[in-house]
Structure 1
Amino acid sequence: MADAEDLELKARKERERDELYSLDISGVEWHSAPGTEEHEERVEIAYLPAGAVAMRSSLDPDTVLRYTEAEWRAFVLGARDGEFDLEPAPQNGDAGPR
């Protein structure tokens, strides 16, 4: 039973992904963090139908990642919770704790 449910879930996610990437997003409005300048490297996002989000780098606008509403929500909540925090870089040549 679990295998059939897993296959069904996988098929549904593939359909959602196919639909998301088939959307024409040529006319979307891209947003970036307040205070960034046009010439600065920045992450840009666009809001898509059904709560989906597209994301790209200002330096590579032709490469666009797309996320379903559930994926985007999981990412934002994880970021808020510190899931993606980077370890502090070593200072003044210090290799960090030993």
Structure 2
Amino acid sequence: MEVPTKGSLVDLTHAAWFKSSRSGPNCDNCVEVAFVTGGIAVRDSKNPTGPALIFTPDEWDAFVGGTKDGEFDLA
């Protein structure tokens, strides 16, 4: 499956998807991540044939940094 993103196509056909090590074995609210040529893909683990979001490495780094800094924590 090819996904159009930021002016190019990203091929997800052979993407190696994985869940966070923080995801529990019975958790049904998980996302999966794959490092692909040109970026990082994220999808809903319950819908593996559904849409995927594609982030540039800089966007991904900003997200991971914000997560570590508590930027997205609920008050």
Q: TM-score, normalised by structure 2?
A: 0.76
* Per-residue deviation, 1:74: 0.6
Higher helix share: 1
Question: C-alpha deviations, 1:45-71, integer Å up to 9, x for none?
Answer: 000124x10001111221200000110
Q: How many residues align?
A: 68
Aligned to 1:84: 72
Within 5 A, what are the aligned runs for 1:1-98?
17-19=6-8, 22-34=9-21, 36-37=24-25, 40-41=27-28, 42-50=30-38, 52-61=39-48, 62-87=50-75
Partners in 1 of 2:7 and 2:37 — Cα distance? 14
Q: TM-score, normalised by structure 1?
A: 0.60
Larger radius of gyration: 1
Aligned to 1:6: none
Moved over 4 A (4+): none
Q: Unpaired segments of 5 or more residues in structure 1?
A: 1-15, 88-98
Q: Unpaired segments of 5 or more residues in structure 2?
A: none
Sequence identity of aligned pairs in percent? Answer: 34
Q: Secondary structure at the match of 2:51?
A: strand
CA RMSD of aligned residues (A): 1.9
